[in-house]
Amino acid sequence: LVVGQMTLSGQSSAYDDGMEISLRAVQRDEFKQFINTITAAFAEEATDEELEHGFKLLDPNRALAALDGDSMVGVAGAFDFVVTVPGPNKVRAAGVTVVGVLPSHRRRGILTRMMEHQLEDIHTRGEPIAILGASESNIYQRFGYGIATLQSSIDIERDRAGFRTAIPASGRFRLLDTDKAIDVLADVYDRVCAQTPGMYERTRAWWEHHSLHDSEPHRHGGGPLFRAVWELDGRPEAYALYRDRRDFDWRHGVPTGHLHVLEAMGTSPLATREIWSFIFGIDLTERIRADREAGLPPLMFMLDEPRRLRISLSDGIYVRIVDIKSALEARSYLADGSVVFEVNDAQLPHNNGRWKVDVSGGRATVEKTSSEPDIITAITDLGSVYLGGFTFAQMSIGDSLHEAVPGALRRADQIFRTDVQPWCPEEF
């Protein structure tokens, strides 16, 4: 089934090379080619195991390929996600993934066509939003994806990782075998996910083939994955996934191990603290690193020397509002009030125009209106404020959102503000 065909010739002088590219969903027997195309776009090679695992998680109907004749030259995929949004509430979302174009075919508009096609498809499927993590931050804003969370890396010497206050030890720790881990970890994850905008539900297959996947190439030179859990009154309340970096040495007789924490979370501040105190207690470790902490990591408020975390901040996940009405009605709000947005969406025309967001009892009714706008914005900026990671006032610092009525930014921020920091702890 050819879902779209484009002749690049004549579209613009930059892309004028007469190449004919067709877009279509891949067939099951083309899936290996699909995975080989995405790994080649990243200048890597897929292992047999990776080829098999990728197949289990990605629905071929959501695996889009760009073909130059018979050759697959570009790919883009999407997972079926259910994402937590402020309230907390849950919303169906496309988890955009495996996006790449071969180096031989770049800067000819192939990604642009794939993104346009994929957004139409997401809309047809009735998913109000799409989310993604970007390999480079200059790629997706042009397609309406706004930076929606911040994430931080931390890197701390173990002997400087002391807590501000001492508390009596409680609960117990266990290391989990792979075959028993999923149920225990999911018990914690599901509860944290349900409270945290930006996190998505994990299926059993996702745990098995993604979060706990531990093949040699997946380790990037590190050691095997360990799974530690903290239980209180017999119930798991926090866990950590970590591996050692394999750069262990005894320099001058002193151990220099580095620990890489892939994920650490707890259902309460106490549980979060306990699992980090477990990590800081792992012997023969000199430094501890974690790369996908929340923008303001909880440890910042717990440690005696927060500066020693060496926090480095960057863009986290991006949110694309695919359908304004269903997206804004899917989350809830802490204050009632109303605001009219004039929205500019270059890819999805149904979002264009003026929308009145009327919040009463914490729920929004969103309708097209002919009223004068309070705020004029690109769809990108609405994606940035959606999870509560950024305010309208902050977005107005850029050049694609501004207030048309004095005081409108403040009014909108009172309505949209949230009290939970959005966070997505995993790459997908």
CB of 110 to ligand COA, least distance (A): 4
CB nearer to ligand COA: give 15 or 55: 15
CB of 149 to ligand COA, least distance (A): 16
Round the CA-based radius of gyration of the chain to a whole number and report it. 23
Q: Does 6 interact with ligand COA (rule: CB under 6 A)?
A: no
Residue type, 345: D
3-state secondary structure of 369: coil
Which residues from 178-197 bind ligand COA, rule CB under 6 A? Answer: none
The three state secondary structure string of 233-265 is: CCEEEEEEEEEECCCCCEECCEECEEEEEEEEE
Q: Does 67 interact with ligand COA (rule: CB under 6 A)?
A: no
**Position among 19, 51, 139, 184 found at the interface with ligand COA (CB under 6 A):** 139
CB nearer to ligand COA: give 136 or 399: 136
CB nearer to ligand COA: give 133 or 389: 133
Residue 427's contacts (CB-CB under 8 Å, 6 or more residues apart) are 133, 292
Closest CA to 330 of 295, 353, 357: 357
Q: Does 212 interact with ligand COA (rule: CB under 6 A)?
A: no
Q: Does 424 interact with ligand COA (rule: CB under 6 A)?
A: no
Give the separation between CA 91 and CA 104, rounded to whole angstroms: 38
Assess contact for 54 and 403: CB atoms under 8 A.
Answer: no
Running DSSP on this structure, what letter comes out for residue 335?
Answer: S
Which residues from 359-388 bind ligand COA, rule CB under 6 A? Answer: none
Q: Does 22 interact with ligand COA (rule: CB under 6 A)?
A: no
Q: Which one from 34, 140, 239, 386 is the annotated catalytic residue? A: 140
**Position among 42, 204, 360, 371 found at the interface with ligand COA (CB under 6 A):** 42
Residue holding tokens 């994929």? 118
Q: Does 136 interact with ligand COA (rule: CB under 6 A)?
A: yes
Running DSSP on this structure, what letter comes out for residue 65?
Answer: E
CB nearer to ligand COA: give 11 or 256: 11
CB nearer to ligand COA: give 96 or 343: 96
Strand order from edge to edge, sheet including 337-344: 363-368, 353-360, 337-344, 375-378, 401-403
Q: Does 250 interact with ligand COA (rule: CB under 6 A)?
A: no
CB nearer to ligand COA: give 99 or 279: 99
Strand spans (E) along 134-169: 145-147, 150-157
Residue 318's contacts (CB-CB under 8 Å, 6 or more residues apart) are 131, 132, 133, 134, 140, 141, 145, 146, 147, 148, 383
Q: Does 16 interact with ligand COA (rule: CB under 6 A)?
A: no
Closest CA to 385 of 318, 339, 294: 318
Q: Does 352 interact with ligand COA (rule: CB under 6 A)?
A: no
CB nearer to ligand COA: give 62 or 158: 62
Q: Does 134 interact with ligand COA (rule: CB under 6 A)?
A: yes
CB nearer to ligand COA: give 275 or 322: 322
CB of 385 to ligand COA, least distance (A): 22
CB of 139 to ligand COA, least distance (A): 5
Among 130-138, 255-263, 292-300, 328-336, which window interacts with ligand COA (CB under 6 A)? 130-138
140 flagged as catalytic: yes
Residues 88-127 as x/- pattern, contact with ligand COA by CB under 6 A = -----------xxx----xxxxxxx---------------
CB of 13 to ligand COA, least distance (A): 10
Q: Does 86 interact with ligand COA (rule: CB under 6 A)?
A: no
Alpha helix (H) residue ranges in 242-366? 269-280, 299-302, 324-330
Assess contact for 105 and 73: CB atoms under 8 A.
Answer: yes
CB of 388 to ligand COA, least distance (A): 24
Assess contact for 149 and 317: CB atoms under 8 A.
Answer: yes
Q: Does 138 interact with ligand COA (rule: CB under 6 A)?
A: yes
Category of 123 on φ-ψ map: left (φ > 0), alpha (ψ -120 to 50) or beta: alpha
CB of 15 to ligand COA, least distance (A): 7
Q: Which one from 79, 280, 392, 428 is the annotated catalytic residue? A: 428
The secondary element (H helix, E strand) that includes residue 7 is strand 4-7
CB of 3 to ligand COA, least distance (A): 17
Chain centre distance of CA 320: 12
List contacts with ligand COA (CB under 6 A): 14, 41-42, 99-101, 106-112, 134-136, 138-139
Catalytic residue ranges? 140, 428
